[in-house]
């Protein structure tokens, strides 16, 4: 099941980036047919390959394991993409704020 989720997300983010399967496969260093197998959930990629794919797609690796993109609003996805483009220093700062907000809200 997880390879289907990862495959669906690979396709989603590849299309968001405007890459063809051939272009994306070339950037990762795999064949276009193998990329197709990954997107269809027919192959089980290594964690190293998933990391390379997330790097090429410009996303955090964890986003490839989210079960349903439809559950996330378009606006949230937009903000996640913006945050993803920031450096680690900025991302850590944003996470600190979010964690503080959650801790205050829960109390």
User: What are the tens digits of pLDDT across the range 94-107?
Assistant: 888 888 878 765 55
Given this model, what pLDDT does residue 23 score?
Answer: 97
End-to-end CA distance of the chain: 37
Reply yes or no on whether the pLDDT at 76 is more than 70.
yes
Higher-confidence residue of 66 and 8: namely 8
Between 37 and 85, residue with greater pLDDT: 37
In this predicted structure, which of 16-20, 38-42, 76-80 has the lowest mean pLDDT? 76-80
Q: How far apart are CA 72 and CA 93, in angstroms?
A: 22
Q: In percent, how much of the chain has pLDDT > 70? A: 89
Is the confidence at residue 78, as pLDDT, over 80? no
pLDDT value of residue 90: 86
Q: In angstroms, what CA-CA distances link 84 with 42, 62, 81, 99, 100?
A: 28, 11, 5, 17, 20
Give the contacts of 14 (CB within 8 A, at least 6 positions apart).
Answer: 21, 24, 39, 57
Span 39-69, pLDDT tens digits: 999 999 999 999 999 999 999 898 898 876 5
């Amino acid at each position: 099941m997880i390879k289907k989720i990862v495959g669906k997300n690979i396709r989603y983010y590849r299309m968001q980036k405007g890459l063809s399967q051939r272009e994306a496969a070339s950037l990762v260093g795999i064949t276009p047919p193998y990329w197709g197998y990954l997107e269809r959930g027919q192959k089980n990629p290594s964690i190293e390959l998933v990391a390379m794919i997330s790097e090429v797609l410009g996303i955090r690796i964890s986003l490839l394991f989210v079960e349903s993109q439809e559950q996330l609003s378009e606006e949230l996805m937009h903000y996640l993409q913006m945050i993803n483009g920031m450096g680690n220093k900025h991302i850590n700062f944003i996470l600190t704020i979010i964690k503080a907000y959650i801790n205050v809200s829960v109390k």
